[in-house]
Amino acid sequence: MAKVELKKIGKVYEGNVRAVEEANITINDKEFVVFVGPSGCGKSTTLRMVAGLEDISEGELLIDGKIVNDVPPKDRDIAMVFQNYALYPHMTVYDNMAFGLKIRKIPKAEIDTRVREAARILDIEKLLDRRPKQLSGGQRQRVAVGRAIVRNPKVFLFDEPLSNLDAKLRVQMRAEIIELHDRLQATMIYVTHDQVEAMTMGDKIVVMRDGKVQQIGSPLYLYNHPINKFVAGFIGSPPMNFLTAKVIEEGGQVMLDEGGFKLKPAAEHLALLKPYVGKEVSFGIRPEDIPVSEGGSAPNGVIKAKVTVVEPLGAEIHLYASTSTQPLVAKIPPHHLYKSGDAIAFAPVMEKARYFDRETELSILPVKFDEQA
């Protein structure tokens, strides 16, 4: 059992640098939670406070219901895997993995059993006599994970563990860490700036920005119900399109007027948009939700645009286009033969549209801050 709770956790570094503000996050037993956000948003600081490597300036950190703010790292029963692996260069793989157990005075036979078992799980049994410099990046990464596994900790922490690997290996290690989580049934917290890693690995994602938690939820909840423009734009690739449009009322019908075209919102969104009549909103639509309209028209209206760049990816095309004033990108099937300069019409799936307040950037559609709270 290991539940980790952050209650109004804050961090102010020397010189009055605020890195984290009022973070309220619950990591349930056996959960795989990913902290994601751009560089400098406070992810590592938050993780390091959980590990005990940074003092907690404000709030309470609980592990299994006990406040551990002042418990030293070695007594928190937590193991951390670092981005640079932090292996001892003069020690063999075996000794690197055994080291943490030796200093805890675990009997030799027990250490041997644990190291060999971890090596077996990670498929590095043949490397036990090598030194770190005789290993590839991926192998070093496995050793760093192995060193955490042998300790059989309550909680595993990962700080951007894959960022030094090439793209292909990263994808492979991603799958291995997910498998490891399923196998060990351990509580894991994983920090990354890569939204694809967050989406593919997390049971739950915590999106951070400027030291503040923006939203917490399952990958699909965040994808479909982003709380603000930042989360909407950060999760998903290519990112969600945002078109500024004015909400108007025409013959009793609420419509969106972009200037170059008009769209009829989905029935379930009309009441929420009504208070914005006469004002501009940010109309958010994902690239996969704007299929091309072959006939140039659609019941809810079309987005008229001009193709600017065509990126064929084999399985699909990323089509960059521009309305008279605003850029957008569409994901369309590979058979389309568009070229730069072509006139095009997209028929947005209006039920999938998101709307954001232009001033606060918050979702106009109702959304939960913490999906599971």
Query: Is residue 42 close enough to count as binding ligand ADP by CB under 6 A?
Result: yes
Residue 86 contacts ligand ADP per CB under 6 A: no
Site string for ligand ADP, 1-40 (x = CB under 6 A): ------------x---x-x-----------------x-xx
Nearer to ligand ADP, 98 or 222 (CB): 222
Compute the radius of gyration of the chain from its Cα atoms: 25
Amino acid sitting at position 32: F
- 43 lines the binding site for ligand ADP (CB under 6 A): yes
Min dist CB 11 to ligand ADP, Å, is 7
Nearest approach in angstroms of CB 35 to ligand ADP is 8
Residue 265 near residue 256, CB atoms below 8 Å = yes
Helix (H) or strand (E) holding 44, with range, is helix 43-51
Q: Compute CA 172 distance to the chain's CA centroid, rounded to the nearest angstrom.
A: 18
Separation CA 161–CA 181 (nearest Å):
15
Q: How many residues bind ligand ADP (CB under 6 A)?
A: 11
For the packed helices 167-184 and 137-149, what is the interaxial angle rounded to 10 degrees? 20
CB within 8 Å of 266: residues ≥ 6 apart: 300, 350, 351, 353
Nearer to ligand ADP by C-beta: 40 or 291? 40
Contacting ligand ADP (CB under 6 A), which of 45, 139, 187, 215? 45
Sign (positive/negative) of CA torsion 353, 354, 355, 358? negative
**Total residue count of the chain as it appears in this document:** 373
Nearer to ligand ADP, 43 or 269 (CB): 43
| Binding of ligand ADP by 327 (CB under 6 A) | no
Quote the least distance from Cβ 44 to ligand ADP, whole Å: 3
Helix extents (H) in 208-278 = 219-224, 229-234, 270-273
Query: In the bound complex, what is the minimum distance in angstroms from residue 61's beta carbon to ligand ADP?
Result: 16
DSSP alpha helix (H) spans, 186-311? 195-201, 219-224, 229-234, 270-273
- Interaction with ligand ADP in 164-193: which residues (CB under 6 A)? none
Please state the closest distance from residue 42 (CB atom) to ligand ADP, in A: 4
Which CB sits closer to ligand ADP, 42 or 301?
Answer: 42
* Interface residue with ligand ADP, options 21, 34, 44, 348 (CB under 6 A): 44
- Give the number of C-alpha atoms closer than 13 A to the C-alpha of residue 365, restricted to the C-beta side: 20
41 touches ligand ADP by CB under 6 A:
yes
- 231 or 247: CB nearest ligand ADP: 231
Q: How far is the CB of 269 from ligand ADP (least distance, A)?
A: 34
What is the nearest approach in angstroms of ligand ADP to the Cβ of residue 201?
A: 17
Nearer to ligand ADP, 21 or 289 (CB): 21
Min separation Cβ 30 and ligand ADP, Å: 25
CB 9 within 8 A of CB 60: yes
Q: Which two tokens stand for residue 9?
A: 């956790």
Long-range contacts: 53-56, Cβ < 8 Å, 24+? 53/80, 54/11, 56/9, 56/10, 56/11
- Return residues touching ligand ADP (CB under 6 A): 13, 17, 19, 37, 39-45
